[in-house]
Structures are given as C-alpha cells and as structure tokens.
Amino acid sequence: MRDISFKGYAKRIFIVTFGLVFAAYGVGLTVTAELGVSPWDVFSQGVALQLSKLTGRQIMMGTITQITAALVILVDIALKEKIGVATIIDTCIFGGALNFFLKHNLLPYPETFAVRFIFMLIGYIIWGLGIYIYMKPALGAGPKDALFVIFAKRKIPVAVAKNSIEAVVFVIGWVLGGTIGIGTVVAVFAMGYIIEFWFRVFSFDVTTVKNESVFDTAKNIKKLLMKA
C-alpha cells in the first residue's frame, strides 16, 4: 500500500531523485572510460551530422537529444504509458547530474584499456541499479526507459525489449554517421540483461507496477492540501 501523504511523497520523490543521480554517475563512468558512447548518443550524433549537412548550419548533438526526448514522450503517451513525476525529474536533472560529475572531476579517468573496460562495466551495473531504484516508487519512468516498459507489458522480456530498442537506435545512428566503440556494442547487447538482473534480484515486476501519472499525483496532493 502506497503512503499517500506529504511524507510519503517526499520519500518517493527523494528515492526517484537519488536513483536518477546514481544512474547518472554510472553513465559518467561509461563516458570517462572513453570506449564508445551509448546507442542513443550514436543516434543523436548521426542525426545532428546529417541535419548539419542538409541545412548548412551546425546542429548540436544536445539539441537532437532534447528533441528526441520530447518525441519519445509523445510516443509513450500514444502507447498509453503514464507520464509521471519521475519522467519530469528524469528530463530535468539526469543530464545536469551527469554534467556536474564530469565538470567537477568526480569521476575516475583510467588510462589502461583493461581498467577502462572494467570501469565501463561497473558503470553499466550502477546505471542498471539506478534505473531500478528510481522506478521502484511507481512515479513513472524516464522517456526512453518507458519504451522498454511498454514492450515488457506486452509480454516481451525486459532484456529483449531494451536491447532490441537500442539495437535499432544504434544501427540508425551508425548509418547516419554516429561514432561507435566497444562500449556502444556492450550497451546494445548487455544493458537490457543488466537491468533485468536487478529487477530479478529485487523481485521487481515492471509489468505489474501501477505508475501514477502527474495528474494522479497532482490530484492526491490537492486532496492533502485541502485536508491540511
């Protein structure tokens, strides 16, 4: 039974925020390992490159990332996945947390290939655990994570759904000119299994979670304010 109280919501939002920041640190480890960017970043690079050639103007990868996130949210809504508080928090703080870790040198920068590869794997493990943590409070999923949740609810295993989505994104980005590395390949074939591993460890069935939409949360908080 969820704690529908101010204290309960404060706790759930804290857990969501902590999980996303924790996941961002994991992503940071994969970045500083410098063994290849994530499939979604390959996609953003490729699209930005082709649009820059087409328009004759420099299109930044970050711009494509933001546009992609907005479009994915529309797809989530079209497929009837609830957009929750966690979706908004993800959109607002995930990138900022990653930039904070990178800017303030809070991440290791290993030099040898072996150590870089190990840190990359640790990064993916932390990233996967962070995804479980922020999804647990049932306040929704990030725009891109919501996609594999949608497919999982249609009886496709989490690992297969996650890996398949990122494989498609990876191929499109690669064809369009995005840069890849061994880390990209590992992400395509392993990230889904890492997430599924953490879900099984904590007996978390994402297909049965009743996420609150932002409208559900707003209504509940309104009721709490009226009773106060």
Quick one: what percent of the chain has pLDDT higher than 90?
A: 79
Q: Tell me the per-residue pLDDT of 1-10, one tens digit each, with 9 for 90 and over.
A: 677 899 999 9
pLDDT reported for residue 1 = 61
Quick one: what percent of the chain has pLDDT higher than 70?
A: 100
What integer is the mean pLDDT of 119-135? 97
Q: Tell me the per-residue pLDDT of 48-57, one tens digit each, with 9 for 90 and over.
A: 999 999 999 8
What integer is the mean pLDDT of 117-125? 96
Q: Tell me the per-residue pLDDT of 99-115, one tens digit each, with 9 for 90 and over.
A: 899 888 899 999 999 99
List the Cα angle 223/77/26 in 5-degree steps.
Answer: 90
| Sign of torsion over alpha carbons 54, 76, 218, 212 | negative
pLDDT of residue 41 exceeding 90, the answer is no
The pair of structure tokens assigned to 220 is: 């509940």
What integer is the mean pLDDT of 86-100? 89
pLDDT reported for residue 23 = 95
What integer is the mean pLDDT of 178-197? 93
Helix 39-55, helix 158-175: angle, nearest 10: 30
pTM for this prediction: 0.91
What integer is the mean pLDDT of 60-89? 89
Residues 6+ away with beta carbon under 8 Å from 123: 26, 27, 28, 29, 30, 31, 33
